[in-house]
Amino acid sequence: MIEAKKFVGIISQYGSSIPFSIICGNRKKWVVKAKKIGKNSKRLLSEYLSGILAKEIGLSRPNVELVRISNNIFEELRQMTDVFDVSCSFGVAIEYFEGLVPVLPPPNVELSSPDLPKRNKEYLSGQLFDEKSFDQFYGLNVFSEWILLRDYHKYSNLQKTNNNEVIFLDFDMAFRSNGDDFELPTHYDYVKMISLQAPFLEGIITQKEKFVAWFNKLELLEKNKLSDKILEIPNCWGVPDNYTDSLLNFLFDHRKEFVEQFLKAFEFREETSEFD
């Protein structure tokens, strides 16, 4: 856990999570999401757990940590917005990358257009992304479906560094079920995987064999490595008893089922689309 030492500012007052930036004890900058009044903490838990799992599997996304937010920082926040629950002094801190640039959608093409796969592939190749970067797209496709990530339709979730390396943001809508926020998933369904979660994957995800390495990484993940991280989850988030353990049990125990359903969805897309 890190300590927020200095408030820098709200990053966006219009996004639903209203992230803000802080500087911690080692003078490193982080982006923080905190609990809001009248809201449960499912999205905080999702951002935290999915961030840890993403780094374990080797996906290119910022590190995450739990962060303690001081009363002084809440006082500064209150001058700008009153949405935060000051009784819960713990949030999720996402590592800040200097110079990150959001990747904009391809110009002059609608995201619903049948031309998107071809235009997207040409466009992203023109962004100087290399094969290593495109391998990360395959990893994102596998990982996002494994963690049941939903509402990931913004191009701005894809960013690039000064070295043209990809960075994926915002996994706070992971572990979605059909019912209540904290309802546990029960199975994987290939039908829900047919449509790609992210528009920037269109035209890129075409080679079945490139999933194999990511399936292997998924199989090598060890649930017991997460034990200490789970114990740190703050009580003020109000996560139901045994929810986190049961969720992780589902993810790890259903990996074989997941791969089968994932490949079934890919093969369906392959039969109904024209991959280059």
What CATH number was assigned to the domain covering residues 101-272? 1.10.1070
3-state secondary structure of 132: helix
Q: Residue 246 contacts by C-beta under 8 Å, 6 or more apart in sequence? A: 184
Average pLDDT per consecutive 10 residues, the chain (276 residues; last block may be shorter) = 91 75 88 91 95 96 95 91 92 92 86 85 81 91 96 86 90 80 92 90 93 98 90 93 95 98 95 66
Question: For the purposes of burial, counting CB atoms within 10 Å of the CB of 111, is it exposed (0-12), middle (13-18) or buried (19 or more)?
Answer: middle
Question: Which pLDDT tens digit goes with each residue over 152-165?
Answer: 888 889 999 888 88
3-state secondary structure of 158: strand
pLDDT on residue 7: 92
CA 219 to chain centre: 20
Question: Which pLDDT tens digit goes with each residue over 53-71?
Answer: 999 999 999 999 999 999 9
pLDDT on residue 124: 87
